[in-house]
Structure 1
Amino acid sequence: MSLDTRAPSPQSTPSASSATADASAATAESLEDYTLRFAPRSYRRWRPAVVATSALGGIAYLADFSIGANIGLTHGTVNGLLGILVAALIIFLSGFPLAYYAARYNLDLDLITRGSGFGYYGSVITNVIFASFTFIFFALEGSIMAQGLYLGLGIPRWIGYLISTLLIYPLVIYGMKVLAKLQVATTPVWLILMVIPVAYLVISHPDSVQTFLTWTGESGEGVNFASAMLAAGVCLSLIAQIAEQIDYLRFMPPRTAQNRRSWWAATILGGPGWVLFGATKQILGMFLAVYLVANVPGAREFANEPVQQFLATYEQLMPAWLAMTLAVVLVVISQVKINVTNAYSGSLAWTNSFTRLTKRYPGRLVFLGVNLAIALVLMEANMFDFLNGILSFYANLAMSWICVVAADIVLNKHVLRLSPKVPEFRRGMLYDWNPVGIVSLVLSGGISIAIFFGAFGAAVQPFSPLFAVGIAVVATPLMAIATRGRFYLRRTDDGIDLPMFDADGNPSGETLTCAVTGLDFERPDMIASAVPGPEGEKLYLSSLALTTDRTGEHVLPKE
């Protein structure tokens, strides 16, 4: 179904014409990446298994090996394992409701966050937190690639940082179609290069397992809950990875009776299930680092570098020249697989925030360049040497954001029913700011960061991650109760008579014509205009056109 409408008269003004141009530019680029809006059914043609494989391709990063190595060498094996398991459990439980909403309603995490306690503009705060995640981890992976290029080819690290940055830009230009093909094609090679050598090392050197299990770290102490929580804090910095998984999961096909099992399997595996693979890699990184320290003189200086870990492993199997070649190949493939996702997701986050605040659309590729430039500066500043401290600090902000949104979905939407069950993201339907999410984020993040820096004493300092989670889970429903849910929806009627969902509960595929761009958009992405047509008829706008409407006259009035 398509309703033909003409462009509204406000387009004749300069500001309206500029807004129309911005909307048209964003629409054209959105044919590949849907930077600012809902992912339509017409584009989502991949099978659930392909979407899940593409999402998991983004977790090929080797930073997990460095994280595992650092916490194992510092806190010992048992404390490191406890920290990894605690972090994995928290990440899985908090990531599940977010992944489900993304796959079911085809929204990225920013759009989900808007209607889950933060408001139309409030989610910009969390977008900045997420964008920081993407360039921090881009810099970490780029540093690891530079280590491999230096070791294997003698390329100076500062040049390696530049290569690892410039290599990614052309791969991210064309969005999901190219990224899906890249992830699916490279995953088998990545798995072979990573898994087989480690399995061989364990089988051929069984004594290395015993050495690993009895390793007590630099402190030389046994099981210590504080040490385990410090380790968990580093691992929990990865909690924001669910946002990158969601950038793929939003392209899941509609859930039907025929694909129900595969749909659920893909949503769980490609969503919160990423942490199962991440935790495994952290444990492997810990194991390889302990093996190097126990068997290679002076290895403590480089045991946290993945290229050195795999080089030592490959040398057990093959000639030194081939071992070096494969170690470098593994590092390059891993860096490309994750950093195309970091660059892609970061460009979406920056563009979304900038366009909402300024009503101007400069193009996603502009912010792709910005994100890569920030990451390059961090690499040149040698942030790899401060890995644990940076991640531990960042974890407090990331956990606060993710846990507030998860608590709003689970508690406020489904238990208290004070938050609208169906996520809303369109301008005019939401209040600009919602104190439920914003206040909860400030309390959770602010208090946990203060604890992290020792404001409440050394005794509780290691437990700042647990405080971040606990405060978020408690404050979010309390704020919803205190405000009685009044700041979620500005309107409940979007002015369109067509149903929002089909018979299976999936977002409708019916289309309406946007009066500003002249293009057809699917029903969930549309809203009625407050401005009637030339003959008094009702006009419809896409959420994209409404985002770039600088006059604000198309925004429906508050109910």
Structure 2
Amino acid sequence: MSVSQHSDVNSLEGSSDNQKAVNETLEDYTLRYAPHSFRRWSPKVVAITALGGIAYLADFSIGASIGMSYGTTNAVFSILFAAIIIFLTGIPLAYYAARYNIDLDLITRGAGFGYFGSVLTSIIFASFTFIFFALEGSIMAQGLLLGLGIPLWAGYLLSTFMVIPLVIYGMKALSKLQVWTTPVWLILMIGPVAYLINKEPNLVGQFAQFTGHDGFAPMDMAAIMLGAGVCLSLIMQIGEQIDYLRFMPAKTKANSKQWWAAVISAGPGWVILGAIKQIIGAFLGFYLLTKVPGVNTTEPVQQFNAAFHDMLPGWLALALAVILVVISQIKINVTNAYSGSLAWTSAYTRISKHYPGRIIFVLVNLAIALALMEGNMFAVLGKILGFYSNFAIAWVVVVATDIAINKYVLKLSPKEPEYRRDMLYNINPVGMVAFLAAAGLSIAAFFGMFGSFLAAYSPLIALVVAFVLTPVMGLVTGGKYYIKQDHDGIKEPRYDAEGTPVATVYSCVVCDEVYERPDVMFSHKHSGTICSLCKTLDK
């Protein structure tokens, strides 16, 4: 199905002279439901593509950073605590994205935030993508400096510009890239670590006894929470997984097992591999500390260069370490650039009622990331992630709780998601109040406003406040602000009896193109059916 979009305001007022067609191959259904006719991939291909986006090496830096600071025992418990929270909150989000074929912003609108309320969370998600793009770009630049002698500033530029041609063509290009590079990446990542453990089994025991540099005792709750705060910044990764999961095929009786396996593994399941990578990062950081003193133990290229050197000639070891860094950076940063462009476009279009095209915001996201890299954000990695995690935890926990409890347990709002303008209130106090309270209190704690003791527990504060306040606000408001009007003016339901989106197509009276049932509504102003994007742009 070829779907046209336009940004000219005059065309929205009925004039077709200035109507501008936008290629959905480039736009990838930004701001809208991903139609059945476009979703031709199998659950397996979608899952592999989504999991390819977690090839980032930041996990190794994070693991090494908290391992060196707080010791092995505290680091491992930090990682496991964060992983459990990320997995549990990711289940309802991944299910909604795959079942109803919408991204995290569209989910957020109907899950407690309202039509304009989720603009704030779109900006938070966009921030996640450029922070981690900058982090991964920095890691690649470190690899290019070590392997090829390319100055860091030039490496930053190279790591930024090389993803542009790859990310422009959206899901069609990304699915091929991720599927073909994943086996190579896995071999390069697992091979040297397995060899190292086999060669020096005593190293594992020494690693287990390591107590860190910051003077914490093993099993110190403050240290565990401080480490978990850094790890929980990755809770936002579910948003990038969802940007792929929304292209899952419809769930049927025939594909049910494969569908669920793909959703769980590529949705919340990403954190299992992520936690393993963080623990490996802590192990490799300890290995560098004891075997190769004087190098930065948090730099993944140094970690893998040393590990490869144990099993291969020096020139080959360095080459493979650099290749691993480059492949990993490309795999994750095409995802960061892609997801960031979707988030920025969503926020900007709703505020301005003008659609500039997703590609514009690919460049915006890359420019911000490049500025962070040139400012050497890698040097303050832990502080940036610890601060950001307060926002991320508050948002994700609010949305997950709203779906799981307010929709399914308390039945305060319809189970089927709603994201179309005029069907929603601009602001839903349920999610907004819960989010602002959780984020505000946790950030205040993070900066020590509640004393030094609670400063370490800021991520736990964000989690608890969001989890408790979301159903409380739902009950207080009686679910009044979820749905503004009950019917969209079209007789045919959007979802069939089994909850699957209906694929019947309707013609939009504004842009004169066809759209599937979940993406349209009746417009009294235009005296006919209108698509969700034209409704968004209507002034």
Show the counterpart of 1:38. 33
Pick closer, same or farther for the CA change 1:510–1:77 going to 2, 3 Å: same
Show the counterpart of 2:354. 360
- Structure 1 distance, partners of 2:435, 2:139, is 32
Deviates more, 1:216-225 or 1:161-170: 216-225
Show the counterpart of 1:521. 515
Q: What is the letter of the counterpart of residue 153 of structure 1? A: L
Using the TM superposition, give the Cα deviation of residue 459 of structure 1 relative to its aligned residue in structure 2, in angstroms. 1.2
1:391 aligns with 2:380: no
- Structure 1 distance, partners of 2:322, 2:261, is 33
Q: Percent identity?
A: 60
- Structure 1 distance, partners of 2:264, 2:20, is 35
Kindly tell me the number of residue pairs found equivalent between the two proteins. 532
Show the counterpart of 1:75. 70
Pick closer, same or farther for the CA change 1:231–1:354 going to 2, 3 Å: same
- Structure 2 distance, partners of 1:86, 1:23, is 54
Show the counterpart of 2:409. 415
Pick closer, same or farther for the CA change 1:116–1:24 going to 2, 3 Å: farther
Pick closer, same or farther for the CA change 1:14–1:158 going to 2, 3 Å: closer
Once the two structures are superposed, residues 448-471 of structure 1 have per-residue CA deviations (whole angstroms, 9 ceiling, x without a partner) of 000011111111111110110000
Q: Is 1:168–1:336's contact at 8 Å kept on the other side of the alignment?
A: yes
- Structure 1 distance, partners of 2:491, 2:251, is 24
For structure 2, which runs of at least 5 residues remain unmatched after alignment? 1-5
Show the counterpart of 2:489. 495
Q: Is 2:27–2:357's contact at 8 Å kept on the other side of the alignment?
A: no
1:82-231 mapped onto 2 (5 Å cutoff): 82-220=77-215, 221-231=217-227
Using the TM superposition, give the Cα deviation of residue 544 of structure 1 relative to its aligned residue in structure 2, in angstroms. 1.0
1:423-462 mapped onto 2 (5 Å cutoff): 423-462=417-456
**SS of equivalent to 1:304:** coil
1:542 aligns with 2:539: no
Q: Is 1:22–1:361's contact at 8 Å kept on the other side of the alignment?
A: no
- Structure 2 distance, partners of 1:342, 1:43, is 22
Q: Is 2:425–2:481's contact at 8 Å kept on the other side of the alignment?
A: yes
Show the counterpart of 2:309. 315
- Structure 1 distance, partners of 2:367, 2:156, is 11
1:476 aligns with 2:465: no
Q: What is the letter of the counterpart of residue 65 of structure 1? A: F
Using the TM superposition, give the Cα deviation of residue 417 of structure 1 relative to its aligned residue in structure 2, in angstroms. 0.9
Using the TM superposition, give the Cα deviation of residue 421 of structure 1 relative to its aligned residue in structure 2, in angstroms. 1.2
Deviates more, 1:32-41 or 1:330-339: 32-41
**SS of equivalent to 1:34:** coil
Using the TM superposition, give the Cα deviation of residue 222 of structure 1 relative to its aligned residue in structure 2, in angstroms. 2.4
Q: Over aligned residue pairs, what C-alpha RMSD do you find?
A: 1.6
Pick closer, same or farther for the CA change 1:18–1:139 going to 2, 3 Å: farther
**SS of equivalent to 2:521:** strand
Pick closer, same or farther for the CA change 1:68–1:163 going to 2, 3 Å: same
**SS of equivalent to 1:347:** helix
Q: What is the letter of the counterpart of residue 198 of structure 1? A: V
Once the two structures are superposed, residues 263-301 of structure 1 have per-residue CA deviations (whole angstroms, 9 ceiling, x without a partner) of 0000000000000010000000000000110112223xx
- Residue number among 281, 294, 299 corresponding to 1:298 in the alignment: 294
**Structure 1 runs, 4 residues or longer, greater than 4 Å off:** 16-27
TM (normalized to structure 2)?
Answer: 0.96
- Structure 2 distance, partners of 1:83, 1:369, is 35
- Structure 2 distance, partners of 1:542, 1:443, is 35
- Structure 2 distance, partners of 1:384, 1:210, is 30
Q: What is the letter of the counterpart of residue 409 of structure 1? A: I
Using the TM superposition, give the Cα deviation of residue 26 of structure 1 relative to its aligned residue in structure 2, in angstroms. 7.0
Once the two structures are superposed, residues 368-389 of structure 1 have per-residue CA deviations (whole angstroms, 9 ceiling, x without a partner) of 1000000000000000000000
Using the TM superposition, give the Cα deviation of residue 24 of structure 1 relative to its aligned residue in structure 2, in angstroms. 5.7
**SS of equivalent to 1:107:** coil
Show the counterpart of 1:48. 43
Show the counterpart of 2:321. 327
Pick closer, same or farther for the CA change 1:235–1:24 going to 2, 3 Å: farther
- Structure 1 distance, partners of 2:19, 2:526, is 21
- Structure 2 distance, partners of 1:447, 1:226, is 18
Using the TM superposition, give the Cα deviation of residue 23 of structure 1 relative to its aligned residue in structure 2, in angstroms. 11
1:281 aligns with 2:270: no
Pick closer, same or farther for the CA change 1:480–1:53 going to 2, 3 Å: same
**SS of equivalent to 1:460:** helix
- Structure 2 distance, partners of 1:64, 1:356, is 34
1:486 aligns with 2:475: no
- Structure 1 distance, partners of 2:18, 2:49, is 29
Once the two structures are superposed, residues 396-444 of structure 1 have per-residue CA deviations (whole angstroms, 9 ceiling, x without a partner) of 0000000000110011101111122111000110011111111111100
- Structure 1 distance, partners of 2:317, 2:424, is 56
**SS of equivalent to 2:530:** strand
- Structure 2 distance, partners of 1:61, 1:416, is 38
For structure 1, which runs of at least 5 residues remain unmatched after alignment? 1-10, 534-538, 551-559
Q: What is the letter of the counterpart of residue 367 of structure 2? A: A
- Residue number among 338, 346, 367 corresponding to 1:344 in the alignment: 338
Show the counterpart of 1:65. 60
Q: What is the letter of the counterpart of residue 91 of structure 1? A: I
Q: What is the letter of the counterpart of residue 534 of structure 2? A: A
- Structure 2 distance, partners of 1:399, 1:287, is 27
Using the TM superposition, give the Cα deviation of residue 504 of structure 1 relative to its aligned residue in structure 2, in angstroms. 3.6
- Structure 2 distance, partners of 1:338, 1:20, is 42
Using the TM superposition, give the Cα deviation of residue 17 of structure 1 relative to its aligned residue in structure 2, in angstroms. 4.8
Once the two structures are superposed, residues 486-530 of structure 1 have per-residue CA deviations (whole angstroms, 9 ceiling, x without a partner) of 111111100011121235421011110111111110000010011
**SS of equivalent to 1:152:** helix
Once the two structures are superposed, residues 219-257 of structure 1 have per-residue CA deviations (whole angstroms, 9 ceiling, x without a partner) of 343221110110000000000000000000000000000
- Structure 1 distance, partners of 2:293, 2:14, is 64
**SS of equivalent to 2:188:** helix
Show the counterpart of 1:267. 263
Pick closer, same or farther for the CA change 1:488–1:41 going to 2, 3 Å: same
- Structure 2 distance, partners of 1:452, 1:23, is 51
1:400 aligns with 2:394: yes
- Residue number among 232, 235, 260 corresponding to 1:236 in the alignment: 232
Q: Is 2:305–2:317's contact at 8 Å kept on the other side of the alignment?
A: yes
Using the TM superposition, give the Cα deviation of residue 532 of structure 1 relative to its aligned residue in structure 2, in angstroms. 5.5
Show the counterpart of 1:507. 501
Using the TM superposition, give the Cα deviation of residue 27 of structure 1 relative to its aligned residue in structure 2, in angstroms. 4.9
Show the counterpart of 2:3. none
- Structure 2 distance, partners of 1:348, 1:366, is 10
Q: Is 1:105–1:250's contact at 8 Å kept on the other side of the alignment?
A: yes
**SS of equivalent to 1:254:** coil
